[in-house]
Amino acid sequence: MTTTDDFATYIASLPRVLAGAAALFRDAEGRVLLVEPNYREGWTLPGGTIESDTGESPRTAARRESAEEIGIDVPLGRLLAVDWSLGEGRPPLVAYLYDGGVLDAAQLASIKLQEEELISWRLVEQAELTDHLLGSLGRRTVEACRVLQTGEGTVELENGRRPQAS
């Protein structure tokens, strides 16, 4: 067996981890833009899976997914949160959440949903986010909003919560 074969075997033996990226868009009143997928219950943020086989970065994935899902293609701001999220029935997920910025009335009026995946969209008050976004996604989004409000740097999360110092 060659060294290349050994390396390929080693890589194939490593644990699988999913990676996703999303954008946090807001309106002038600070409400957060949520989308309702047709493939599962609940609401989510514009975003999706990072296509690592094409060399796509998390930032590029968040922008691509936002353009595909809601028709908004704008440069994204800073990384707000990175979340290591464990879920039943799936491998761990590393979720990147970027600042999508504040959308003006014209941009909101121009939202065009990707019909293959989305049913509707809405703006939600930050205090109500965890009523619409379940589990770690809700906690992650609340933490990202807090980062925006305080000017704090990117926050590291585990299942949507800040980890205890070790």
CATH number at residue 142: 3.90.79.10
Question: Does 132 fall in a domain?
Answer: yes
Question: Does 3 fall in a domain?
Answer: no
| Mean pLDDT value across residues 134-150 | 96
Distances (CA, A) of 97 to 2, 11, 16, 21, 104: 40, 27, 21, 6, 21
Host H or E run for residue 9: helix 3-13
Question: Does 166 fall in a domain?
Answer: no
CA atoms of 60 and 100, how far apart (whole Å): 12
| Mean pLDDT value across residues 110-131 | 97
CA atoms of 140 and 142, how far apart (whole Å): 6
CA atoms of 38 and 120, how far apart (whole Å): 9
CA atoms of 116 and 4, how far apart (whole Å): 41
pLDDT at 129 over 70: yes
| Mean pLDDT value across residues 3-12 | 79
Question: Does 121 fall in a domain?
Answer: yes
Question: Does 65 fall in a domain?
Answer: yes
Question: Does 123 fall in a domain?
Answer: yes
| Mean pLDDT value across residues 83-104 | 93
pTM recorded for the entire structure: 0.91
Q: 6-10, 23-27, 112-116: which has the minimum mean pLDDT?
A: 6-10
Main-chain dihedrals φ then ψ at residue 9, nearest 5 degrees: -65, -45
Question: Does 72 fall in a domain?
Answer: yes
- Per DSSP, the three-state class of 48 is strand
Question: Does 143 fall in a domain?
Answer: yes
Residue 56: predicted pLDDT: 96
Residue 2: predicted pLDDT: 62
| Mean pLDDT value across residues 61-75 | 98
Q: What is the pLDDT of residues 28-43, one digit of tens each?
A: 999 999 999 999 889 9
Domain containing 85: what range? 15-156
For the chain, how many structural domains are there in total? Answer: 1
pLDDT at 147 over 70: yes
